[in-house]
Amino acid sequence: SADTADSGAASAPQKDPNSDEKRNQESPSMDVSADTADSSAASAPKKDSNSDEKQEQKSSLIDASPDTADSGAASASKKDASEPVGITPVSDDAITALVTAPATATATAPDATVPAIATATRSAPDYSAIIHPSIAEIIKLEELPAVKPLESLTLREMAELEAALQIGDTCNYSDEDAWKPDWGGNLLLYEKDVVVNKGYLINQPNAKPAKVKYCDWVASNAPGSNGLRGLELLLRFVYNMKGTPAMAKKILAHSLQRPAKSAEHRLEFIVDAISRVSYDPAVLQQDGWTIEKVDTPQEGEAFHIGRRIMWQRHEAIIIAFTPDETYGGLWKAAYVEDLETFDLEPGELQAAIKKWDNKQKQLSKKRNAVRAPPPPPSGSTRFAATANFTVDGIENGIILAVPTNRAAQGVLWPARVRHVVEGSLTASGGVRRNSSKNMIQVVFLAPFWNGQSLSSKVSNAKDPYSLGPLFEFDNIEVSEYNLQKYPFETISMEKIKGSFLFLSLPKGVFSRYLDSHRLAVALKTYAIKTISSDHASRSDDQVLASAQLIESHGLSLRTPIFPQVALTVPFEFILSKLPHPSEFASMTDDDDNDAEPAIDIDAIIRSMSPPLIFGKKLPSLKRDTSLLTPECKKKSFMSPDPHFTPVINIAPHEEEEEALWSTNKFASDFLCGIFQTQSSGNNLSIDGLAYMEKLLTSLIAKLRQLSNVFTGYGASKQSAELRSILCQCLLIKGHGEDSLEFGTIPAGVSKATIISEWRKACERIYKRAVSKLSSKGVGNDITSVITDSRCNGHVTQSGSFERPVRIPAAIKGARLAGAGIDPNVLLVTQVENPYLEIAENVVIPKAHKRSYIKRLKTKIASIQPNETGVPLTDDSEGEGGEDTMGSRGSYTAAIVGVAASIKAADMVVGGQCVNVFCAVRPPGHHAGQELRSMKAISNGFCLFNSAACAALYATTPRSQGGLGLRRVCIIDFDVHHGNGTQDILCPTFDPRFLYVSLHAGGAHINGYDDEDSDAESFRLKLGGKKQEGIFPGRCGDTSPHEGVLNIPLGQKVTASAMGTALVSQVTPAVEVFSPDLIILSAGFDAHMNDPLGMGGLTAEDFGSVTEVACQMAYKTCSGRIFSVLEGGYGVPCCQPRDDLFLPPSTEDRLLQLGSDLPANMKDDVPFTFRQKLDRCHAEGFLECVKEHVKGFVKCNKRK
């Protein structure tokens, strides 16, 4: 009626005076609250497990009374003109008439007189070259013809639409009864629940509303294909909104204008169109999404595009990415089964990726368990479980294997896998046919165990472990415990030494161990260069079928077939000519040529052919020395690099002053050549490579000038100047990398190679600065230990693992390593207040949420001065605080711990010392952004995360008070995974950080998390029973992205597992990452006597771990490394208990800490716990710290 229309117009927003009865569609002028805006449905709703039920049941509360609505629920039989619906009092019959009225003629078919929305061709844009192939396989788009534009709504039509959708201030049926701020959210209103029994509710206010989906309600009452007026109005409204992509407009218009046989047919077109606009590449790109995948994580978060995930128990794929101010980024994903889309925040994305990875592991495990090889003649499936087992790198023939000989002590030793065609003879003369299906034949290279029996027969044997044959045959059972990947590509002395440290073998074995790797690398290199790998590329099914026919294992078919001549080269003679380990010089930090050249078997074979066998020489072949510095180029073919230079008393060559400071003393010929080529052939005034050269020469000139006047400065000025020039080195290192983005890289030159050589050049200048400008007690050869007595103010409860005496015990251990005694091992006993202010006011708020900091500070402030052992991290229900307790001084202690780590970063980067150990508590690597991060049951003794805070401080720009470093690596060897550190630094990929954790655990222990629950049933306590899993849970079982390397080492951490992981996984990852600083989260709770009982390492093993980490630092960042104390609880009781009547002899079992134990410190240990700690008198936490600091001292000499 006219009254109804007038009232609707009055309630609707006023029309633009410049429009002809057309509503301004830029945005609905409704009062949208903040809550409503936040809940905007920009993407499709999450998939529900009951999503197959498309609509709710219509209310059973509608009776047959003539005063109630008809039970059809989609229409009403009685008018109620006074009922408030939408923004105007429209009756139920009026709404039904609206939604069933014929659609306007302007939207039914294209008209040649009206401009159409279409391209010149009738096909959709070609995105095949942009979108990821895996996405293109799923998303199939039909071509769209030209369409006619849809008219915008008049004020009356707008009022009708709002009444039908029940949107407006008078329709408070739910929180969603309002327009959305974006076109996508408004388009999804087609699925909005609308109430269909309003008349009944007026008479029965307590009755339950009957709701159905708006689209279903409209369609169920439509008389024909053109009767979906309610949906047509909604699509026209969205079509004319500001910001609606052009492709989305075309899709919506086409759904209304294409011919349809019925209302159901038309509804199907509309629903398909609404679905398509959510995943169509053109729509996404026009709406601001990135649809093109980048190749590496460093190029951006679009790296995840095309990746499969699991969400709401359904398989999905990432199809687009967009930056977001609130979350940092949003990823759009689509379910594979129906292309329904949804958006993911960074944390949700990582959870979805992890679920996918875990699901694939489970499926792989199931496939391996149930998938049998082709039926063998005998019909046996006994060895089906290991039939699919393989080893990475088997195509090169070299692996690590555990010998069956008991004298080998179960170590993993380099071995060559024999191909099945090499014969069936074995060391024992043969094996049973059936067993051969699960066995492989190997040849151990330079074994040490076969010479021990001969040593007694040879008098004055210099090297008894090298007396046995150079090769030994063996039959090895196929399993993941007996066979592992061979980790080395080249012979690096430091890497070989590092791996040997964890084998617990006599030092005399090292010579044989080195020879075994020389042979392994030689054979591996030969296989890569000369042996065809066609046989290794066969499918698994083909290998399984062949292996089954010949009753062998697939590994024996994938290994290469070495020619007999390659296996009979006089290796023993060749090895005898190579330098013995005793001839090698001590460790240096030269990184120009970090590998001994491999024995070139192919060159040796060719030398035995004419004309060389007649004494005639071939034309000389120039060796590629483009990446080597001049010193390295002087070396002969088999001459080792500086790490392997024999100690020979030769007077150093006197070089001229100018030559010492020339650019090619720091930059390789490769980099100098790039600079020269670019400067001579580039006429641009600004060029990235030219700028890099200018930076390098300016820095060298400044260092040269400073070195000439440095000795005339006082001690304080020398320290300041040293810090200044070193920080400039690292800043210029980062600026140079950035400037390369503006340079023209010569054809055929790798950008990655330029960056790598640039980093090496800057680090050489850094090392020259340290060498030239160091003074007594400052700079080179200096190790520092930082502690602070305020850490003792954190007092836990009696019986806690984390006791205050850990700090005095750590100081005593550091003293035994020379701290405070050796002039080159400094003991710093107080952290200056400025560092505390930076920690509390600047750094900690970056790592932890302010709500967490405020809660912790308030909790601690409420503790009485004499009260101890108070739960600090319990939640509102009192849970989660049973292991993290403290006292009034806990907050200050935690601040001091962070401040100490910041000071350590300053000292190491600023050149005051080479490395630092921070003896502070409470520990921190379980403290995340907020309380109990990554679903952990507690905070695991931790309050603030010192290691993570130091990393954030180091990467903060210098203009903001930080050190301005580009990349920091954190290596955590505590027995527990550092969930807090990962949560703070790497919730999503961040190119600034690499977090590495070696810890007890694994999916086979903690279980597989492929569900969507919060894992409430999987609540692990620190030091809980084995069957409960290992704290903090599953978060450390997998690596969610490129910036995290989690390496679970099983139920108990062993030296062999730790060493293998460090050499084969951690070292390569760190070298690729190339950090500017390495931080160690040093936990000693993997010690064999630690009360947690989760480790098998000795104190000497922790020293080895430290040395290997220092070698990584020397290789990548001139040795810049420091550690922060985390776990380690094997401290025997230090004081007798007053309430026990114990014999005087008991005092003999107390740990004597002397003056390092404060007079007012109590060590109240329950008797049962005291007995558990008694075994630590032999070796425990104190000895671990001693070896850790000794490792630092051993590695603090850089030249």
N- to C-terminal Cα separation, the chain = 94
Distance CA 1197, CA 783 (A): 10
Distance CA 787, CA 591 (A): 33
Other Cβ atoms closer than 10 A to 485: 14
Q: Are 253 and 149 in contact (CB under 8 A)?
A: yes
pLDDT at 1026 over 60: no
Non-local CB neighbours of 71 within 8 Å, separated by 6+ positions: 58, 62, 63, 64
pLDDT at 382 over 60: no
Q: Are 990 and 965 in contact (CB under 8 A)?
A: no
Question: For the CA atoms of 405, 411, 415, 420, what is the dihedral angle to 10 degrees?
Answer: 60
1170-1187 mean pLDDT: 93
Min mean pLDDT across 432-441, 761-770, 894-903 is at: 432-441
Cβ neighbourhood burial of 869 (10 Å; 0-12, 13-18, 19+): middle
Give the per-residue pLDDT at 622. Answer: 45
Distance CA 352, CA 311 (A): 6
Give the per-residue pLDDT at 217. Answer: 82
Distance CA 172, CA 209 (A): 12
Min mean pLDDT across 464-468, 693-697, 767-771 is at: 464-468
Give the per-residue pLDDT at 790. Answer: 96
Other Cβ atoms closer than 10 A to 118: 16
Q: Which one, of 237, 221, 251, lies nearest residue 23 by Cα?
A: 237
Residue in the structure block whose two tokens are 């199939």: 140
- Could you tell me the two tokens for 583? 């001839």
Non-local CB neighbours of 779 within 8 Å, separated by 6+ positions: 722, 770, 773, 911, 912, 913
Could you report the per-residue pLDDT of 139-198, keeping only the tens digit for each?
888 888 999 999 999 988 888 888 888 887 666 555 567 888 889 888 888 888 888 877
Check whether the bond before 84 is cis (ω within 30° of 0).
no
pLDDT at 91 over 60: no
Radius of gyration of the CA atoms of the chain, in A? 36
Indicate the DSSP class of residue 473: E
561-570 mean pLDDT: 91
Give the per-residue pLDDT at 686. Answer: 52
Helices 155-165 + 92-100 axis angle, to 10: 110
734-745 mean pLDDT: 84
In the three-class reduction of DSSP (H, G, I as helix; E, B as strand; rest coil), residue 918 is classed as strand
What are the CA-CA distances from residue 1145 to residues 815, 1130, 1142 (Å)?
27, 21, 8
Share of the chain above pLDDT 70, in %: 75
- Could you tell me the two tokens for 57? 């049941």
- Could you tell me the two tokens for 881? 């605080």
- Identify any residues that bridge with 995 across adjacent strands, giving them in sequence order: 970, 1044
pLDDT at 905 over 50: yes
pLDDT at 1053 over 60: yes
Give the per-residue pLDDT at 521. Answer: 94
340-365 mean pLDDT: 85
Min mean pLDDT across 61-70, 805-814, 987-996, 1098-1107 is at: 61-70
pLDDT at 921 over 90: yes
Give the per-residue pLDDT at 1179. Answer: 95
In the three-class reduction of DSSP (H, G, I as helix; E, B as strand; rest coil), residue 697 is classed as helix
DSSP assignment of 577-593: HSPPGGGBPPP----S-
Higher pLDDT, 212 or 1195: 1195
Task: Work out the widest C-alpha separation in the chain, in whole angstroms.
Answer: 120
Could you report the per-residue pLDDT of 262-316, keeping only the tens digit for each?
887 888 889 889 989 999 999 999 998 998 888 877 777 888 898 999 887 788 9
Work out whether strand 968-972 and strand 915-918 pair parallel, antiparallel, or are unpaired.
Answer: unpaired
Min mean pLDDT across 370-384, 490-504, 916-930 is at: 370-384
Q: Are 551 and 437 in contact (CB under 8 A)?
A: yes
State the pLDDT confidence band at 635, using cuts at 50, 70 and 90.
very low
Q: List, in sequence order, the alpha helices (H) in 933-994.
A: 946-955, 979-985
Most confident segment among 155-169, 549-563, 827-841: 827-841
- Could you tell me the two tokens for 32? 């949208």
In the three-class reduction of DSSP (H, G, I as helix; E, B as strand; rest coil), residue 309 is classed as strand
Would you report the helix, strand and coil content of the chain in percent, each value rounded to 5? 45, 10, 45
Give the per-residue pLDDT at 30. Answer: 36
What are the CA-CA distances from residue 959 to residues 313, 465, 845, 849, 898 (Å)?
46, 59, 18, 23, 21
Give the per-residue pLDDT at 660. Answer: 84
Q: Are 1078 and 1112 in contact (CB under 8 A)?
A: yes
203-218 mean pLDDT: 79
What are the CA-CA distances from residue 1155 to residues 328, 346, 808 (Å)?
51, 51, 9
Check whether the bond before 630 is cis (ω within 30° of 0).
no
Higher pLDDT, 430 or 339: 339
Give the per-residue pLDDT at 173. Answer: 53
What are the CA-CA distances from residue 955 to residues 45, 103, 815, 968 (Å)?
38, 61, 32, 7
Q: Which one, of 885, 891, 1018, lies nearest residue 940 by Cα?
A: 885
Higher pLDDT, 281 or 1138: 281
Higher pLDDT, 1024 or 391: 391
Give the per-residue pLDDT at 468. Answer: 85
| Cα angle 623, 629, 635; round to 5 | 55
Q: Give the HSE-up count for residue 975: Cα atoms under 13 Å, Cβ half-sphere.
A: 27
